[in-house]
Amino acid sequence: MKHQQYLNFSLEQLLEEKSFISWVLKQENNIEWENFMESNPGFRSKAKKAREIIHLLQERYDVLDENSVLEIWKNIDKYEQQYKQNVRKLKIRRRLSWAASVLLVISIGTFGYMYLNEKDQGYQFVSSGAQQSSEARMVLSTGEEIALKKDNSTIVLNDSTNQVTVNDSIVDLSEKTEVGQQKAQMNEVVIPYGKKTELLLADGTKVWLNAGSRLAFPSRFTGKIREIYLEGEACFRVAKNENQPFIVKAGNLNVKVLGTHFNISAYPSDANIETVLLEGSVAVEKPKTFGLGKSEVVLKPSQKASFIKEQNEFTVTDEPDLNLYIAWTSGWLKYDRESLWSVLRKVERYYNVEIQLPANYPGDDEITGKLDLKESLDAVMVVLADASGFEYRINENKVAIERIIKELQRK
């Protein structure tokens, strides 16, 4: 036993021994040390003195609060993305041209895939819907649940260490994933209204998940494709990997990607599923009707595909102001000639409230502006009330909107 050599150590020598210090500080090899002391009582008192000296010399220290930890990380992450983009700029032109050719190959490949998939009816979320639950949480493939305590949580999956970092705490996944499973087990993140979260998936893909949304994803991407499931709204910056296409399944749409930045809004309660492309190239595929008709559209940057669920049809439009679609990832709500209805529905999601409009209220009126979602609900409602000329009352989680009655205004 290697510990034997310590028997004749003086106190000073013991304090020069790194493995001894590691034991005192981090309980490294605790069992070996305990056993060794058990069988050598003479050594025990020496070790205790040495340990006490180390403990006496532990200093008082301060802990950096969680918000600052995340704030600094966001800046670092942003800096890295920008730095990478600057380096990449020169190469971009070349990549786009072959990106298109790779997409063609995938659409053929997915035909067979779709056929197989129709048999198992797609994916069923295990967790209850995001709308019903009030707590943001992550449900691991094992069924274990982790509460996401913050309004804006950060989740980082680490492929190589098989760990997931939730805010500051690290959860080990390694003993939980069984080897040789046929299908990748899915983890789910459920974000109720009033919250949002940022995730870094195992392949390096960044996902911003908006209020009232669910996302299912594996701990690591092992198959030929990287496949995740979305209900609600999310913005993706997909890590490029031409050998492993990335597919987002939202409602009954498939959005296939190679490495791009895009936003999908697919709330079950909304009539449309919208996909907006910021960079790169994606193909949006709808379910086929009797194998007839064109079933996918390929988007160019700054285009939006709206899938109208009822008619099973796409419309593609050019979108000059992409900021409208991704402002929420940094805590803003931007709207440009959008109906009051639609803006209020988003406010409902962000603040987890129910907004009631009187039956005869002109909710189709279009408004333009920007709301800071970091402000209180009241502050946001004041802005909207001024813009659209209504009065409102907030009562717990209900907001009642009333038309300003002309007769009352004169006083």
Partner 1 sequence: MKTDKKIWDDFRKGENYALSHIYFQHVQMLFRYGKKFSHDDELIKDTIQDLFFDLIRTRKNIGETDNICFYLMASFRRKLSKSIKRKIPLEYSDSNELIAEIVYSAEHDLIDKEELSQRETAVKKALAELSAKQREILFYKFTCNFDYEQICEIMNLQYDSARKQVSRALKAMKEILSGSDMFLFFLGILSDRKNSPADSAE
User: Which residues in this chain contact partner 1 in the complex, by CB under 8 A?
Assistant: 11-12, 15, 18, 21-25, 27, 30, 33-34, 37, 48-49, 51-64, 68-69, 72-73, 75-77, 79-80, 83, 156, 158-161, 165, 168, 170, 200, 202-204, 239
Rounded Cα gap, residues 363 and 365, in angstroms: 5
Question: Measured from the CB atom, is 169 or 289 closer to partner 1?
Answer: 169
Alpha carbon 366 to chain centroid, angstroms: 31
Question: Measured from the CB atom, is 31 or 116 closer to partner 1?
Answer: 31
Beta-strand relationship, 303-308 and 313-318 = antiparallel
Question: Measured from the CB atom, is 63 or 359 closer to partner 1?
Answer: 63
- How far CA 239 is from CA of 33, 246, 329, in Å, comes to 46, 9, 18
CB 194, min distance to partner 1, A? 26
Q: What angle do CA 89, 95, 99 make, to 5 degrees?
A: 140
Question: Measured from the CB atom, is 188 or 203 closer to partner 1?
Answer: 203
Question: Measured from the CB atom, is 64 or 116 closer to partner 1?
Answer: 64
CB 261, min distance to partner 1, A? 15
Alpha helix positions (H), 240-283: none
Other Cβ atoms less than 10 A from the Cβ of 222: the count is 12
CB 101, min distance to partner 1, A? 25
Which residue is associated with the tokens 């050019």?
A: 318
Helix axis angle for 340-351 and 377-388, nearest 10°, is 170
CB 292, min distance to partner 1, A? 42
- How far CA 52 is from CA of 5, 20, 44, in Å, comes to 21, 12, 12
CB 149, min distance to partner 1, A? 17
By CB atoms closer than 10 A (0-12, 13-18, 19+), residue 94 is exposed
CB 330, min distance to partner 1, A? 18
Question: Measured from the CB atom, is 138 or 284 closer to partner 1?
Answer: 138
Contacts with 354 (C-beta within 8 Å, 6 or more apart), sequence order:
348, 397, 398, 399
CB 45, min distance to partner 1, A? 8
Question: Measured from the CB atom, is 24 or 278 closer to partner 1?
Answer: 24
